Structure 1
């Protein structure tokens, strides 16, 4: 059985977004799709599943094991979901029911989709979540209180519970630290090693290397190059392929420490907590105007909770946070959220949302156009609703919205976790340029310690603080 896609074209009205594209994935040989944000990687997976957003249409031929999928009635196509073909969506919060506990959602897949008895389904769900490294206390948590990386692992467990032999994994490791990323890669590789079909969409070159098999690089909806993993990622033939491989944060220039001038945000002997549980204690930090500071550490350790505490969204468990000078003014402190879909109104176009922002705060509309262009985005994206653009594009639009308000402090929660390496580097350079021009302080949350050290210099490593607490 193989997955074959022939002459696939995805359209938004009269605008061609993807293709024509030919893709073949054989059992036991993973195919990794790399490419810039907005290249159409997720559209490929959605076209195969038959879940393209409203307003988009697909043409071409899609077959799985010789069976045509593209001309099946919707009910027959949906009957294959979970049992024969499964997708791990790019945004875990879109895939999970916010009103169901994580272990219940995984158990439901085992019981309803796979047809297992409920007692067995619940036991398997607990085993799945433990096997993905989720601590027992988080198994029965609601998705809204989980970190992005933890929610991604719950979504992975739910998507794979029924044993589908074809898995489409859309950015399955984004937001995960290296150790958790490697755990998920091993699970993905296991799908292929057992004779399954694995198509993995990723912006992480390290993931594609670890999976092996074949690699396809997309740009602007077209194939740039395709071939064996070791060939494409060792000696790429295209200019974009070379830029993609070379854009690893390890190759970025180091800016050294950048504490900034007069402090605008200070934390002393801070302890952070979520759900009544203390996560990390003894945090001291200070950042001044024009300064940079990074908060790093594994998924689930409290990076986003620390950012929420600094923003005043949740109170400290102990210690104090002081916002000085400019940071006390209305709108002066802005947070860039880790989950961009939750930051936009889902039922109005992006253009309407930006126009409302301009009117509400009497902003310069020309600055909006400048920022969108500077972040490498097409103005045409504004005509769509949030669900009709990629996660990476939506994250850059969220960044543009924050920058329009000219904040004195930017709290950036994983601003590049959804971006390909080339775009990631470009966006971080833009953040650096604009915050320098505006003399704004930036506190960056990232799971990538190398990126933190290269871009910010000063790093608060929560893993180190947590280890010190355990040793004490």
Structure 2
């Protein structure tokens, strides 16, 4: 008997978001729903929880036999920032149930007294997985469940999902990560513009895709062809020490990056990668050490940096959705960058913003909508466009390709390569993805528990 049955589902908000989708998921089976950003994956997945966009017109039938758990793409959006994570979980279930859930999700019990902002991206992802497992769900809907996880942690999460299905839990995975799809899926549904364009067993779809769009989704990005960097030193970090409360997050970190060079900073979740990025851009004041731009030390915090320095180093956040004000149109927020950091008029900044957004395949009608109505991939591209509108000399990208489908990821990597090669923009990539590092980085630095454990090396 199927745990999930969806028949001719249609969800319309001015335009069709989901248009005639049907599928079934038996107990213990894994359905992967794949497609480019904006294809309707998340809307379909949320329908299994009975959630739809505001003002949506819905038709068709969605039947779920039992409780549904949910693992969101951006865990920070569902975690209460002012409460310790353990106290929230204990309100939802007994102490023993919480302990079983966090153990199953590989979330350390020692971290239950922390606040969400004190957790790495990977730790937050494991936490929301534990929350989804409370109450013994019959089906778990996982929206990009490996977002922002290093390879080892991703494999652990995939293993846990596999163990869930062995216990008869049905799993619906919404993912761009074809390695995860290959590892888990029994059946695949391919969406494009809300419609099913191909479906079948995972073996058939992965080895013999019939639709050109499906074949494009399965292709890995080609190497961007990074040339050896020959520019002068652009960014230097020396003896950097940073703390989170009493915990030392970075221990005497040193690194240098040249103009037009791409440095990938890698390491497992909790290694200090994001803390390093936030120190470079001035979002986290270091305890000691210096960050130097073109030979000149920078102020420790954003508030102390002049406008020229704010424009010179731009940061693209891992959680693009959380970096936008949900009440204002995306276009207005992107254009505001040119007003604040380049002194442009409102009209000129809007024109410049539309031009940059168009280069990322975001048209004007889409960008005039508020952020909640855009897909995660669309917001990733808008966040990158916003950063580029400042004409930065250094671009710090925190898991920039996380949650992007293969086609969009290739577009973003190609754009970054062009910026590096044509405009000598220095790139610092915070990433777990070895594929991204191999394709784009000139050198790689590895962090572990806040220390540089591998000196920068030339990428192959």
Q: TM (normalized to structure 1)?
A: 0.86
Find the partner of 1:97 among 62, 65, 80: 80
Q: Deviations over 1:50-70 (max 9, x none)?
A: 2223243322111224xxxxx
Partner of 2:302: none
Partner of 1:266: 236
Shift of 1:107: 2.2
| Matches of 1:403 and 1:103, distance apart in 2 | 39
| Matches of 1:199 and 1:415, distance apart in 2 | 25
Shift of 1:92: 0.8
State the SS of the aligned residue for 1:462. strand
- 2:86 paired with 1:86: no
| Matches of 2:424 and 2:282, distance apart in 1 | 22
Find the partner of 2:226 among 250, 255, 269: 255
Question: What are the ranges of 5 or more consecutive residues in structure 1 without an aligned counterpart?
Answer: 66-82, 111-120
Partner of 1:78: none
- Sort the Cα spacing of 1:468 and 1:48 in 2 relative to 1 into closer, same or farther, 3 A: closer
Shift of 1:268: 2.2
| Matches of 1:257 and 1:104, distance apart in 2 | 51
Question: What are the ranges of 5 or more consecutive residues in structure 2 without an aligned counterpart?
Answer: 299-307, 455-460
8 Å Cα contact 1:326/1:332 also seen in 2: no
8 Å Cα contact 2:13/2:53 also seen in 1: no
Find the partner of 1:442 among 397, 422, 427: 427
Q: Which moved more, 1:376-385 or 1:330-339?
A: 376-385
Structure having the higher helix fraction is 1
8 Å Cα contact 2:148/2:432 also seen in 1: yes
- Sort the Cα spacing of 1:262 and 1:445 in 2 relative to 1 into closer, same or farther, 3 A: same
8 Å Cα contact 1:84/1:165 also seen in 2: yes
Find the partner of 1:164 among 130, 133, 137: 137
8 Å Cα contact 1:177/1:299 also seen in 2: yes
Shift of 1:365: 2.9
8 Å Cα contact 2:270/2:449 also seen in 1: no
- 2:32 paired with 1:32: yes
Shift of 1:398: 0.7
State the SS of the aligned residue for 2:124. helix
Partner of 1:411: 396
Partner of 2:205: 232
Shift of 1:402: 0.7
Q: CA RMSD in A?
A: 2.3
Shift of 1:252: 2.8
Q: Deviations over 1:277-305 (max 9, x none)?
A: 12343432111222211111111211100
Find the partner of 2:284 among 288, 301, 314: 314
| Matches of 2:452 and 2:338, distance apart in 1 | 46
8 Å Cα contact 2:34/2:190 also seen in 1: yes
Find the partner of 1:367 among 345, 348, 352: 352
Q: TM (normalized to structure 2)?
A: 0.88
| Matches of 2:248 and 2:422, distance apart in 1 | 38
Find the partner of 2:153 among 171, 174, 180: 180
Shift of 1:317: 3.8
Shift of 1:147: 1.8
**Count of paired positions:** 438
Q: Deviations over 1:1-51 (max 9, x none)?
A: 4211111112122x1122221121111221011111111100101222222
8 Å Cα contact 2:315/2:397 also seen in 1: yes
State the SS of the aligned residue for 1:407. coil
**Mapping of residues 13-28 of structure 1, within 5 Å:** 13=14, 15-28=15-28
- Sort the Cα spacing of 1:393 and 1:55 in 2 relative to 1 into closer, same or farther, 3 A: farther
Shift of 1:136: 4.3
Partner of 1:117: none
